[in-house]
């Protein structure tokens, strides 16, 4: 799949997942890679950008085993950006569906 396209989808998935609950990087990577084949190397750069643009904030929390983990939390700004992207996605995928149906429906 087109790399640029995948990047945009990855952004949407990350926002939706941390909207559901605060998660740390590894957790996010696992949750996303169950549905999408993802180069996990692109996840951390993305998380940094989202933090920089104030779509999410981070905090450290102790874990039962091992070192503290950095959790990502969606901000209000991030929430409205997520709503925007979800809407875009719905329209986009709907239009593609219609297009495919029209093109392949006659066969």
Partner 1 sequence: MNKDQYLKELKQRLAPLSKQDRDEILFDYQEHFDVGLQDGKSEIDIINELGTPHEAADNIMAEMSVPKQEERKSSSDHVRMVFLAIILIMVNLIFVVGPAMAIIVAYLSLYSVVLTLIFSPMLIFYYTVIHGLGNAMASFFAMGIGISLGVLIGIGLFYVGKWIYQVILMYINFNVKLVRGY
Transcribe 39-56 into DSSP letters. Answer: -GGGHHHHHHHHHHTTSE
Helix, strand, coil % in the chain, rounded to nearest 5: 65, 15, 20
Taking CB under 8 A as the rule, does residue 92 contact partner 1?
Answer: no
CB-nearer residue toward partner 1: 70 or 79: 70
Query: What phi and psi values does residue 17 have, to the nearest 5 degrees?
Result: -70, -40
Among 69, 79, 86, 89, binds partner 1 (CB under 8 A): 69
Minimum CB separation from partner 1 for residue 41, in Å? Answer: 4
Q: What is the CA 24 to chain-centroid distance, rounded?
A: 13
Taking CB under 8 A as the rule, does residue 93 contact partner 1?
Answer: no
Provide the binding-site residues for partner 1, judged by CB under 8 A.
24-27, 29, 33, 39-42, 44-49, 53, 65-67, 69-70
């Amino acid at each position: 799949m087109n790399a640029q396209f995948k990047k945009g989808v990855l952004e949407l998935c990350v926002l939706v997942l941390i909207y559901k609950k605060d998660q740390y990087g590894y957790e996010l990577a696992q949750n996303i890679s169950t549905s999408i084949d993802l180069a996990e190397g692109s996840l951390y750069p993305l998380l940094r950008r989202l933090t920089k643009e104030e779509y999410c904030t981070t905090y450290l929390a102790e874990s039962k085993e091992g070192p503290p983990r950095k959790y990502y939390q969606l901000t209000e700004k991030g929430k409205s950006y997520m709503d925007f992207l979800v809407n875009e996605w719905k329209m986009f995928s709907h239009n593609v569906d219609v297009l495919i149906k029209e093109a392949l429906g006659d066969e």
